[in-house]
Structure 1
Amino acid sequence: MHQQPIDKPQAAARHSDAQAGFVRLLDGRIAEHLSQLSPAPARLIEAARDAMSSGKRLRPYLLHLVAGGNADRNAVLDMAVALEMVHTASLIVDDLPSMDNAMMRRGRPTTHAAFGEATAILTAIGLLNHAISLANSLPDVGAVQRNALVAILSGVMGWQGLVAGQELDLHGFSDADGVQGGALERITRINALKTGALLCAAVEAGAILGGRADEERSLLRRFGEDLGQAFQIADDLADLLADSASIGKDIGKDGNKETYLAVFGVDEAFRRCRALLASADEVLVRVGLDPDPFRGMIDAIFNPMLDRASRPVPWSGAAS
């Protein structure tokens, strides 16, 4: 049978509309959960609402795509809210004066700039606590699945996740950390902990809620790892080559940190970004997921980041 050629602009528009529809549902669910925080202090609630009010929603949408249409929608939305709370809490902490000392995030003042350092810290703690509570009380999800989801969230927060990544990013490695190899190995480990961990958590949580086999879950973790490494390289490029107004956050915060860009240069950073995204695409095909929605989402995330760095977009999957 003769098949009509795919209209790529129309396909991109459909995927964009689907993503926007999910984000609207997610934002409504976030607002619903934050409205139930009373009788917590009004200032804390206001700070949480402000911190959660914007963002790419990349991790929640990844969870949604991997879970698929057969997963319980309410459980997917609540777990997506939990992931976004963890992500937002990590940004609040990263931006603190004792950490990266950033004044702008997501195009607005950082939480500590708007509400003070003490309230920012308390807001982050509150969001992390609420995220675990959400994962532990998902509707229509069995105990085994709930326990696995709570373990994913607690793991991504802790000693082998965001906490470790931020410590290494700030202070580097000691001899006791046991990292074998050179700069590439150190950079890869930090990127995996700071950026890749939450992306892996999103796809693993989606795989659990979607009832996917362990082999698929393992492959999807590789997708999250590749995407996380690519995202951090693109973010480093934007930090170096763009201005703070265009990317909505402070730039030049990497200083003398050992990043892929700093060690290997701009051209190699763009090449590596392309290779990682191609590898991530191959994983999607192997798992048997429809790659087009993922490609549309990745285009929407990476195109602005790389355009601001004044280089060609590295993602080739959606155009091939």
Structure 2
Amino acid sequence: MHQSAIDKAKAAAWHPDAQAGFARQLDLRIAHHLSQLSPAPARLVEAARDAMSSGKRLRPYLLHLVAGDAADGEAVLDMAVALEMVHTASLIVDDLPSMDNATLRRGRPTTHARFGEATAILTAIGLLNHAISIANGLEGMDDGQRGALVSILSGVMGWQGLVAGQELDLNGFSDEDDASGDALGRVTRINALKTGALLCAAVEAGAILAGCTDDKRSLLRRFGEDLGQAFQIADDLIDLLSDSATAGKDCGQDIGKETYLAVYGADEALRRCRALLASADEALVSAGLTPDPFRSMIDAIFAPMLDRVPQAVQKAGVA
């Protein structure tokens, strides 16, 4: 099929370098927002800068891709910063001694390992609050859009989001929580709360910024949900089959937990992960978005994790 000059221009705009370019813009905007924290204590600001100084930037980039050219660029960047602050705060909390007790994150010492547990907790609280402040102050939005974006952030943080997911991951399901008694249902729920919630927040925020219809937002939410489930399964595989130096974070954290991998085995987990990625792609195409930039980003993230799983499974003798 002949590709028009417009299509070629769009394809060029979504070269993989575009993600690196966006990441540079995002890092500059993060630095700008963190520079506004004074007169907050210098140690607290340093901890926030350290915690936010690296990462895949997957969620902000998803927001950026969904928002597209229809949205104000500065509003997209600011909302992306807010989302990354929530994500970083969740990692700080997850890593605490009372939680996963991790010492390595993103290839660096965790926030509590470097700055102490108290400062880590305060940093997470500060980032969460600042994220809401950024979303509430977005310019170029009407009150309905701004309120919806604030609601997305507060929802992903709370009782039906990261807080709930972490509680269930750490302490399991009570009889009231687990009405079905089904292992797949429990695993899917934890994955949706801990991982899928932030990915869904990214695509929903992008859809709001772009002024998408409700039908389109529903398809994009399905895309985010499937991507979140796939991402968590891939992460579980790496946790079992990789080492901390390669993964850039503490491995072996999921031993004894009820994960998809623990319940169904590595081969089925890999198959399920690939099926979820295919389902996510189908939802993306149905939503009418140009899939190539999303596919490029997803492949860059998942391929390094999944391509080495069969060899690692064979080496480790994991069924």
Equivalent residue, structure 2, for 1:78? 78
2:160 pairs with 1:193:
no
| Contact map agreement 2:95 2:101 (CA 8 A) in 1 | yes
SS in 1 for 2:235: helix
- d(CA) in 1 for partners of 2:271, 2:152: 31
Alignment map for 1:34-45 (pairs within 5 Å): 34-45=34-45
CA distances 1:193-216 after superposition (whole Å, capped 9, x unpaired): 000000000000000000000111
Offset, 1:179: 3.5
Q: 2:76, 2:159 → 1: CA distance?
A: 26
Q: Given that residues 227 and 276 in structure 1 are in contact (C-alpha distance below 8 angstroms), is that contact kept between their aligned partners in structure 2?
A: yes
Matches within 5 A, 1:39-118: 39-118=39-118
Contact 2:285 2:291 in 1 (8 A): yes
Distance of 1:113 and 1:171 partners within structure 2:
23
Give 1:39 deviation, angstroms.
Answer: 0.3
Q: Which aligned pairs between 1:276-291 and structure 2 lie closer than 5 A? A: 276-291=276-291
Q: Runs of 5+ in structure 1 lacking a partner?
A: 5-10, 313-320
Summarize deviations over 1:116-175 as a string: whole Å, max 9, x none.
000000000000000000000001111100000000000000000000000000000001
CA distance in 2, matches of 1:274, 1:215: 25
SS at match of 1:175: coil
The residue that corresponds to 2:300 in the other structure is 300
* Residue equivalent to 1:7: none
Q: Distance in 2 between matches of 1:225 and 1:211?
A: 20
Q: Is the 8 A contact 1:246 1:308 kept in 2?
A: no
CA distance in structure 2 between the aligned counterparts of 1:109 and 1:222, rounded to whole angstroms: 35
Alignment of 1:1-320 (within 5 A): 2=2, 15-310=15-310
Amino acid of the structure 2 residue aligned with 1:291: P
CA deviation profile, 1:183-240 (whole Å, cap 9, x unmatched)? 0000000000000000000000000000000111111110000000000000000000
Deviations 1:283-308 (A, max 9, x none): 11101100000000001111122245
Distance of aligned partners of 1:195 and 1:311 in 2 relative to their CA distance in 1, 3 Å threshold: farther
Cα pair 1:12 1:296 within 8 Å, conserved: no
The one-character-per-residue Cα deviations of 1:258-315 (angstroms, maximum 9, x if unpaired) are 0000000010000000100000000111011000000000011111222453559xxx
Measure the CA separation in 1 of the matches of 2:94 and 2:257.
15
Deviations 1:22-65 (CA, angstroms, capped at 9, x unpaired): 11100000000001101000000000000000000000000000
Q: CA RMSD in A?
A: 1.6
Name the SS of the counterpart of 1:255 in structure 2.
coil
Whole-angstrom distance in 1 between the partners of 2:240 and 2:178: 30
Give SS of 2:15's match. helix
In structure 2, relative to structure 1, the CA distance for the partners of 1:125 and 1:192 (3 Å cut) is same
TM-score (norm 1): 0.93
CA distance in 2, matches of 1:69, 1:181: 46
Structure 1 residue 12, shift from structure 2 partner = 9.3
Identity %, equivalent residues: 81
* Structure 2: runs of 5+ lacking an equivalent: 5-10, 313-319
For 2:2 and 2:33, the matched residues in 1 are separated by 49
Work out whether residues 162 and 193 of structure 1, in 8 Å CA contact, stay in contact via their aligned partners in 2: yes
CA distance in structure 2 between the partners assigned to 1:224 and 1:19 by the alignment: 18
Give structure 1 regions of 4+ aligned residues with deviation exceeding 3 angstroms: 1-4, 11-14, 307-312
C-alpha spacing 1:51/1:3, structure 2 compared with 1 (3 Å): closer
TM-score normalised per structure 2: 0.93
Distance in 2 (CA, whole Å) between partners of 1:135 and 1:181 is: 39
Instruction: Give the Cα separation in 2 of the matches to 1:114 and 1:306.
Output: 31
